[in-house]
Amino acid sequence: MPSSPEPFRPRSRSDIPTAFTTGRVDAMITSPSTGANTKAWDYVSHFHHTQAWLPKNMVIVNRKAFERLDDGVKEAVLAAASKAEERGWAASQAETDDKISILKSNGMVVVTPSPALSEGLGGIGRTMTDEWAERAGSDGQAILDAYRK
């Protein structure tokens, strides 16, 4: 039985043009930012805005250290975190809008994915999550449960 070709895994953004030029790939899944930065319009004509990758950052706080803070300090930290979250989501949306504009201005057709595509990607995501949870055990399941709250 013939083996499947190894999937293309770019080591850097500069690998993408070569992969398209040599016919190793004929499609990619990417964010608007990477699509614009790699000049995806040189290789593909359509961008399905699945929102699979949205630019975002996180700050992680040690719970025990946070709980040791005075109530006033905790309130100040939470208020600052709330403002940062609002700014972060606004910045993410602005980045996405800017890069989609660049894609369009370079001739790419930007479309909303069909319900079938969205459903298919959602199914893949559920499968990947289930497989990860199985490998991660009870700690992984606890993380997922907390995330889903």
CATH of the domain at 97: 3.40.190.170
In terms of domains, do 144 and 123 share one? Answer: yes
Beta bridge partners of 46: 109
pLDDT at 3 > cutoff 70: no
In terms of domains, do 75 and 121 share one? Answer: no
In terms of domains, do 70 and 44 share one? Answer: yes
pLDDT of residue 122: 92
In terms of domains, do 122 and 98 share one? Answer: no
In terms of domains, do 76 and 121 share one? Answer: no
Identify which of 109, 128, 129, 121 has the alpha carbon closest to the alpha carbon of residue 48: 109
In terms of domains, do 7 and 76 share one? Answer: yes
- Whether the model clears a pTM of 0.85, i.e. scores above it, the answer is no
Looking at the chain, the whole-number percentage of residues with pLDDT higher than 90 is 67
Q: How far are the Cα atoms of 26, 111, 114 from residue 47, in angstroms, in the given order?
A: 13, 6, 12
- pLDDT band, very low/low/confident/very high, at 8 (cuts 50, 70, 90): low
44-73 pLDDT, tens digit per residue, is 999 999 988 777 778 889 999 999 999 999
Looking at per-residue pLDDT, the higher value among 12 and 37 belongs to 37
Number of domains in the chain: 2
In terms of domains, do 100 and 40 share one? Answer: yes
Q: How far are the Cα atoms of 123, 141, 147, 148 from residue 138, in angstroms, in the given order?
A: 23, 5, 14, 15
In terms of domains, do 96 and 123 share one? Answer: no
In terms of domains, do 129 and 64 share one? Answer: no
In terms of domains, do 109 and 140 share one? Answer: no
- pLDDT band, very low/low/confident/very high, at 5 (cuts 50, 70, 90): low
pLDDT of residue 9: 64
In terms of domains, do 104 and 44 share one? Answer: yes
Name the residue range of residue 77's domain: 1-113
In terms of domains, do 6 and 27 share one? Answer: yes
Looking at per-residue pLDDT, the higher value among 55 and 21 belongs to 21
